Amino acid sequence: MTIEELKEKIQAECTGDAKTQLNYLTQLARDVRREPNAAELSEAIAKHAYSVMPEEARAEMERTTMINGKRLDRVYHEALELVDHGKVSEAAPMLAALSDKIAECFEGEKKWFSFRNPFEYHVFREFYPVEKEFDRAPFDFSHYLTLYGFVLIELHDLEKAEAALNRAIKFNPVATEPKFELCELYKLTGRDPKILEISRETMRYCTTADRIARVLCNLGFYCADIGDLYSAAVYYFESLRFEPSKQVEAELQDTVRRMNQAGAKFAPPTKGQVLDTYEKYRIIQPPNSELINLAIALAEAARKENRPELEGLFVRVCWDLTRNEEFKTRLDFIDKEIAAKNNV
């Protein structure tokens, strides 16, 4: 969708009082998320929403979602661009301002969460059933604070980094990214028990092979650090099974070399040996069957409600976790359904 097409759509549909218009614009903002130019479209929608707001609501929006006249998401993207170019010192004050604004306006008695997609929302509801009273944050604060934590680690301000990452987890308890950054911090500070604890927790929420592989690599690091070289080799071996990596291969080779020096040998583990190693450290054997079963149930519900885009999201989770060709076939079928629907 082009900006001109969006403007025409808004002009045609945005009628009635401010509340009705804002409700429509909120839904429209969700609809354009999958567009290639989603950021540009979202910005245009936000500007129009701002223009139709009552003055009191506009003032509150400025107070809670803007810094020096810029929306929080723009501040974040400017900081991210600096980080991508290695300018972490320049990004730090911008992210600190973001962190302060989040703390001031969104960390109090009321609970806010920032789930990135419907599956994360349903995983949270499944794994945290007692949490029922909460609102959706206007921006992905978990992501913002994770980047801030990363920058603080780069700047060796580890105490502040740990606090930022724990706050990121509170905004999205089922996200893996802040947990991975926290694990890196624990490695730097030599806190082996914490590495195991966060890895055990992260594995519950891994929905892709690369995330599973990263957890397994971290477990390999942990076991090597405490001197359990055989378990370290098994975890590195398993990590490579989920995603090839030259770095992990090197870690596995180094671990095997250390085993050989100690008079031990390592051969590709049997299924039983792999299972024993997972059980030894109370790690869920990936992929997590709870996530797969939940995604299947949600896909079936979406099918009954005739919502192919949503069904596709849930089936994609199943495919990413299992690589079962039945899910790939179903995904292809859903893609054709969506294409036919859009061409009507």
Please enumerate in sequence order all residues whose Cβ is within 8 A of that of 336, keeping only pairs 6 or more positions apart, or say none: none
pTM of the model: 0.86
Count CB atoms within 10 A of the CB of residue 114: 21
CA distances from 254 to 123, 236, 258 (A): 37, 11, 6
Cα dihedral value 82, 83, 89, 90, nearest 10: 20
Show me where the domains of the chain are located: 3-53, 73-188, 207-280, 289-342
What pLDDT score does 331 carry? Answer: 95
H/E stretch holding 67 reads strand 66-67
**Cα(181)–Cα(185) distance, integer angstroms:** 6
Reduced DSSP (H G I as helix, E B as strand, rest coil) percent helix, strand, coil of the chain, to 5? 75, 0, 25
Contact 287, 212 (CB under 8 A): yes
Each residue's pLDDT tens digit in the chain (344 positions)? 677 777 777 777 776 666 676 666 667 666 766 666 666 767 777 677 666 666 776 677 778 888 988 989 999 999 999 999 999 999 999 999 999 999 999 998 889 999 999 999 999 999 999 988 889 898 999 999 999 999 999 999 999 999 999 999 999 999 999 999 999 999 999 999 999 999 999 999 999 999 999 999 999 999 999 999 999 999 999 999 999 999 999 999 999 999 999 999 999 999 999 999 999 999 999 999 999 999 999 999 999 999 999 999 999 999 999 999 999 999 999 999 888 877 75
Given this structure, which CATH class describes domain 73-188?
mainly alpha
- Pairing mode, if any, of strands 66-67 and 112-113? unpaired
What pLDDT score does 290 carry? Answer: 97
Beta bridge partners of residue 112, listed in sequence order:
135
How big is the chain by its Cα radius of gyration, in Å? 23
**Cα(274)–Cα(255) distance, integer angstroms:** 17
Sequence-separated contacts (24+) of 60-63 with Cβ below 8 Å = 63/105
Tokens in use for 343?
């061409």
What pLDDT score does 52 carry? Answer: 64
